[in-house]
Amino acid sequence: MSTLAFYVHIPYCVRRCGYCDFNTYTPAELSISGDLSATSRSYIDLLLREIEFARETSTASVVPTIFFGGGTPTLMEAADLGRVISTIGSHFELDPDAEVTTEANPDTVTKEKLAQLREAGFNRISFGMQSAVPHVLQALDRTHNPENVFKATTWAREVGFKEVSVDLIYGTAGESTCDWEVSVDTALALPITHISAYALIVENGTKLEAQVKRGEVIMPDDDQTADKYLLADEKFTAAGFNWYELSNWAKPGSESRHNLAYWNGDNWWGAGAGAHSHIDGRRFWNVKHPAAYSQKVLESGNPMHEQEILTLEEARSEEIMLQIRLATGLDRAALSGDEQGSLSGFLSDGFLDGEAWARGAVVLSKTGRLIADRIVREILL
């Protein structure tokens, strides 16, 4: 039976964080009032129309996972988000054990809102914690009080979320190793089952990039950032969170099934402004701006902007790139003799796991994870 994971994009944030280049808009940018309830209703109506279009287009039957990302999905009314889940359930067969996740900004939830989200069908929630240290949050241009993360994760468990995750960012300018350790320890003291930790990327066109260019912000060097990754990995592992993807750790059985579907190259439909989809080697993506998205959906139900069909070679490169990031690694037999040969230096230098290699898998060692991109480039040269 063929499956289709759903990603649902909500392109709204109260304000834009200085480092973020996600496809998201503030009410002021869209000239809408601070009250987003009308926007919530109308944007969700468009998503429902796109889901009908997905039904007409796709042959898949079962939906194993749904992931609401943003932007800030929790700015929408819980009942409106619930309409998306039930519409997916009425047009497709929603796996009774489906993983249904929303991203959340710790500032945008109350206990009541979390209970409404559970009621609407969510069973997993991922909070953007980023750091527990006020000056680091300030440097990241984040608005939330670090104490809100403890409250939000505790409420989430109290109202019945089985899976609770937090996102952390390391490598912010001015973040000492000691600051990072505080963030890691604070995260580990939360009632959570999953952690993502990302090195801060200076994205083009962001306020952060402008600050770096003007010399107002000096980014830390790569060695310091690598040490922070190793420190986090050590602490997460000691606390029972197993590494399973470059930037992700989970308690046994709490790995994100939705993200694993991406990394394993499964089929997914991305609904919403600017969302990307992948079905059987065809990639397509929607128009980015919510106004253009609205216009296209209202005209035809189809908000697609462009598409590309992956050549066999492109599909293979993508598979190598994604699978090598996983703790399960890449099947060595999927590589040619020459490609395997190109890895011998990395193997002897300890960047690849020798035991895994002996049983036929290419798995990054801890230090190998720090140079994953270089290793992939070497294979694909």
Ligand X SMILES: C[S@@+](CC[C@H](N)C(=O)[O-])C[C@H]1O[C@@H](n2cnc3c(N)ncnc32)[C@H](O)[C@@H]1O
Closest approach of ligand X to the CB of residue 228, in Å: 13
Give the separation between CA 15 and CA 36, rounded to whole angstroms: 13
Give the separation between CA 241 and CA 259, rounded to whole angstroms: 17
Nearest one of 271, 336, 289, 361 to 45, comparing CA atoms: 271
Residue 98-117 contact track with ligand SF4, rule CB under 6 A, x = bound: -------x------------
172 binds ligand SF4 (CB under 6 A): no
Near ligand SF4 by CB under 6 A: residue from 4, 8, 10, 17:
17
Near ligand X by CB under 6 A: residue from 150, 198, 262, 285:
198
99 binds ligand X (CB under 6 A): no
Alpha helices in the chain (DSSP H): 37-57, 78-91, 111-120, 134-139, 147-158, 177-188, 207-213, 222-238, 257-263, 290-300, 312-323, 337-341, 344-348, 354-358, 366-370, 372-380
Closest approach of ligand X to the CB of residue 74, in Å: 8
Near ligand SF4 by CB under 6 A: residue from 10, 13, 54, 190:
13
Q: Which residue has the tokens 């902007």?
A: 305
CB of 67 closer than 8 Å to CB of 8: yes
Let me know how long the chain is.
Answer: 381
Q: What are phi and psi of 131, to 5 degrees?
A: -160, 160
Near ligand SF4 by CB under 6 A: residue from 128, 171, 290, 329:
128
Which is nearer to ligand SF4, 128 or 303 (by Cβ)? Answer: 128
CB of 208 closer than 8 Å to CB of 173: no
Closest approach of ligand X to the CB of residue 127, in Å: 7
End-to-end CA distance of the chain: 37
Which is nearer to ligand X, 211 or 279 (by Cβ)? Answer: 211
10 binds ligand X (CB under 6 A): no
Near ligand X by CB under 6 A: residue from 167, 175, 179, 255:
167
262 binds ligand X (CB under 6 A): no
Total number of residues binding ligand SF4 (CB under 6 A)? 11
Q: Residue 65: what residue type? A: T
Q: Within its chain, how far is the Cα of 110 from the centroid?
A: 23
Near ligand SF4 by CB under 6 A: residue from 72, 102, 126, 186:
72
70 binds ligand SF4 (CB under 6 A): yes
Cα Rg of the chain (Å, integer):
21
186 binds, among ligand SF4, ligand X, none (CB under 5 to 8 A by kind): none
Give the separation between CA 51 and CA 6, rounded to whole angstroms: 9
Which range touches ligand X (CB under 6 A), out of 40-48, 200-208, 272-280, 371-379?
200-208
Number of H helices, E strands in the chain: 16, 14
Which is nearer to ligand SF4, 72 or 172 (by Cβ)? Answer: 72
Residue 54-73 contact track with ligand X, rule CB under 6 A, x = bound: ---------------xx-x-
84 binds, among ligand SF4, ligand X, none (CB under 5 to 8 A by kind): none
Site residues for ligand X per CB under 6 A:
19-20, 22, 69-70, 72, 103, 105, 128, 130, 167, 169, 198, 200-201, 203
